Amino acid sequence: MIKISILGSTGSIGTSALDVVSHLKNFKIIGLSANKNITLLRKQIKENKPKIVAVGRDGLKNISLIKEADVVLIAVVGSVGLTSLVNAIKLKKRIALANKESLVVAGVLIEKLLKKYSVKIIPVDSEHSAIFQCIDGRNPKELSKVILTASGGPFRNYSYKKLSAVTVKDVLKHPTWKMGRKITVDSATLINKGFEVIEAHHLFGVPYSKIEVVIHPQSIIHSGVEFVDGSIIAQMGRTDMRLPIQYALTYPERKISTVKRLDLVKVGKLEFFKINPRNFPCFELALSAAKISGTMPAVLNAANEIAVGKFLENKIDFLKIPKLIERAMKKHCSVKNPLLEDILQVDSETRKIVEEMI
């Protein structure tokens, strides 16, 4: 029996993961943690009979320290997942990571810890799962480029002027993926893709100059890699997160899944476009924070978390999100090689600064 704890079990990834586990033999849920959806958590406890359950921020910290778990799936939203990730690495757990913010804010630090404790992260993010599958077993020297695909979100063809009038409802209508609210907003601003560039850089040790982002509206190719001989290997599948979740849990094996099969004839065509950076300042801000590195990505992320939260509460306009992030980044002087404490401090300070700006 492989024992799993799921951190963030009532969210979009958490519920999909429980569905995956219910169809897999040899897997048992040992721990569940949720932020505040107690009704759903109660139902999950009844169905899965976990040994340990935790609620809220402190609960999250405690559950990431359970020794019995073989696999820890980190599926919480935001940089709140960072401490859990660090705990799971130190306990040498197998980690299925669906929390990209922790790699965004502390990528260099996490890389060092992974090396020190000889732990491997298996990515759950669909793009990174695709890349992970494409490079599995290859010599890293053979890799010439990572090709990260992006659906482009609901506003791919909007003018900047049209973007100023979009509502929360418009933003939450993602064209190809059904996801949680925060990541759906991040996908509409395309900051999500910027985060994923940073995530890919740290997960696969690829320099930023070798990561290309391509708009692919059908979201059938989840990402790919180009090798030194010019050959491209990409991974395709339906837009169903149960696929990358299952792969992260059963890796290196593949097991039969309940995911519907992809009908290529029905898909018909696959298109690719360049990103128009002028319409997506958040994407550009993410790339610039990545290049500055140090504590700047932590500022980027914290400012975004606050701004997105306010946007979802209808307190600010959609285009105010990049403006707030930009202001927070301009105010900050990045510290090189930060420790975990430095990152957590910058994270909480930035939250306060951005709250005050609103």
User: What residues line the site for Mg ion (CB under 5 A)?
Assistant: 125-127
Nearer to Mg ion, 181 or 323 (CB): 181
Nearer to Mg ion, 125 or 347 (CB): 125
Q: From CA 330, how far away is CA 139, in angstroms rounded?
A: 40
Nearer to Mg ion, 43 or 178 (CB): 178
**Residue 69 in tokens:** 């778990």
CB of 187 to Mg ion, least distance (A): 8
| Residue of 333, 324, 327 lying closest to 292 (CA atoms) | 333
| Residue of 358, 341, 346, 357 lying closest to 302 (CA atoms) | 346
Q: Is the peptide bond before 217 cis (omega within 30 degrees of 0)?
A: no
CB of 51 to Mg ion, least distance (A): 31
| Residue located via tokens 């002027």 | 161
CB 293 within 8 A of CB 334: yes
CB 83 within 8 A of CB 61: yes
**Residue 225 in tokens:** 């890699």
Nearer to Mg ion, 12 or 84 (CB): 12
Q: Which residue is nearest to Mg ion (CB)?
A: 125
Burial class (CB in 10 A: 0-12, 13-18, 19+), 19: middle
Q: From CA 21, how far away is CA 25, in angstroms rounded?
A: 8
Nearer to Mg ion, 48 or 129 (CB): 129
CB of 208 to Mg ion, least distance (A): 18
Q: From CA 275, how far away is CA 60, in angstroms rounded?
A: 37
CB 332 within 8 A of CB 296: yes
Nearer to Mg ion, 83 or 126 (CB): 126
CB 84 within 8 A of CB 22: no
Nearer to Mg ion, 8 or 338 (CB): 8
**Residue 124 in tokens:** 């759950």
Measured from the Cβ of residue 260, the count of other Cβ atoms closer than 10 Å reads: 11
Nearer to Mg ion, 99 or 126 (CB): 126
Q: Are strands 221-227 and 232-236 parallel, antiparallel or unpaired?
A: antiparallel
CB of 128 to Mg ion, least distance (A): 7
CB of 79 to Mg ion, least distance (A): 17
CB of 245 to Mg ion, least distance (A): 12
Q: Which amino acid is at 100?
A: K
CB of 150 to Mg ion, least distance (A): 8
Q: Say whether 170 sits in a helix, a strand or coil.
A: helix
CB of 196 to Mg ion, least distance (A): 6
